[in-house]
């Protein structure tokens, strides 16, 4: 197949590109490098079956051109910063919703029928059912990021029904692993490298969430798409447990071999959240994928510890 991967030079996107290349597909990587890194796809740049386009999804002319002769789209590009929505309310509208609309329009114009979309657990908001299944509702996101992803999901399913497309929507827990460039582990390591005696922790430290290793995440995506037998599929991807922010801090401190680190909790907002829009407790039900035959190999603690070790070995990771 000829596959277009939006955000293909990013954390998750580059791992998807690796898997597609391993399977022998022709891959077009479309990324504006706002958060992606050329080094994540460097191993493919000279391969004849790989093409990298440094371009923005808001550029319809280039997107339409890139979509020609494509069989399947992995739409991974997005602004992943949940916190930024409270500061700049237009970011997630433009970079998530409008960008997704542009992808779907380019697909419609070029006759592309398959799309896989990376969504998020934040579409559920403060779910009253934990673990939260895919059919939980009503969906009431509490962040503009979650709202934008839910809007993208609605556009994709509507296009699928209206224009005879096939789609898979993946609602992720917190995905961690090699090439991760943001998130709590990344932040903790940076903070402790600057000051190994004190660690600021946003919120009250009791925020409790599921963490999924990138290998498990990509395995689940490809597994679900292969097994899917309907036009629209929605799947939670996560681990079978969760972990608190304080426990993550303990793992990072231990792996950095630090002693007597003083934790300074900010107290947070709205009952100990790290920021406005932060979901305090999140664990996704993955029973749907388990019934299909998939299950994760890492639990949350193992995923966090493995990621911490990888980041500490990466000499290129520098303090902000």
Q: Report the distance separating Cα 204 and Cα 271, nearest Å.
A: 8
Retrieve residue 174's tokens: 């917190």
Q: Is 145 a catalytic residue?
A: yes
Residue 155, token pair as written in the block: 């556009």
Query: Where would I find the beta strands (DSSP E) of the chain?
Result: 2-6, 26-31, 50-54, 72-75, 114-120, 166-172, 174-176, 198-201, 208-209, 211-213, 232-237, 243-244, 262-265, 281-282
Torsion over CA: 186, 239, 145, 277 (sign):
negative
Given the residues 145, 159, 242, 298, select the one marked as catalytic.
145
> Does residue 165 come out as left (phi exceeding 0), alpha (psi in the -120 to 50 range) or beta?
beta
Which tokens go with 236?
């939670």
Going by DSSP bridges, is the β-strand pair 26-31/72-75 parallel, antiparallel, or unpaired? Answer: unpaired
Residues known to be catalytic: 145
């Amino acid at each position: 197949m000829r596959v277009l991967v939006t955000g293909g030079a990013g954390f998750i996107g580059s791992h998807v590109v690796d898997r597609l290349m391993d399977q022998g597909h022709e891959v077009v990587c479309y990324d504006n490098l706002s958060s992606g890194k050329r080094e994540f796809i460097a191993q493919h740049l000279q391969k004849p079956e790989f093409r990298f386009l440094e371009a923005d999804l808001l550029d319809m002319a280039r997107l339409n051109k890139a979509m020609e002769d494509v069989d399947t789209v992995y739409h991974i590009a997005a602004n992943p910063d949940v916190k930024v929505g409270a500061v700049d309310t237009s970011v997630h509208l433009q970079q998530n919703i409008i960008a997704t609309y542009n992808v779907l329009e380019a697909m419609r114009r070029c006759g592309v029928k398959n799309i896989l979309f990376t969504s998020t657990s934040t579409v559920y908001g403060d779910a009253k059912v934990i673990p939260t299944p895919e059919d939980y509702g009503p969906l009431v996101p509490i962040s503009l990021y979650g709202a934008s992803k839910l809007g993208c999901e609605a556009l994709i399913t509507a296009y699928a029904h209206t224009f005879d497309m096939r789609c898979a929507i993946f609602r992720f827990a917190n995905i961690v692993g090699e090439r991760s460039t943001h998130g709590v582990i990344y932040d903790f390591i940076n903070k402790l490298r600057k000051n190994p005696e004190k660690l600021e922790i946003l919120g009250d430290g009791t925020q409790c969430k599921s963490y999924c290793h990138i290998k498990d995440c990509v395995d689940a995506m490809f597994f679900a798409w292969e097994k899917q037998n309907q036009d629209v599929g929605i799947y939670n991807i996560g681990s079978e447990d969760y972990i608190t922010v304080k426990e993550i801090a303990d793992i990072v401190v231990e792996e950095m071999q630090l002693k007597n680190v003083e934790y300074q909790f900010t107290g947070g907002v709205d009952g100990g959240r790290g920021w406005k829009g932060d979901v305090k407790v999140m664990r996704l039900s993955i029973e749907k994928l388990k019934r299909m035959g998939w299950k994760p190999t890492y639990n949350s603690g193992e995923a966090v510890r493995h990621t911490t070790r990888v980041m500490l070995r990466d000499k290129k990771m520098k303090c902000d």
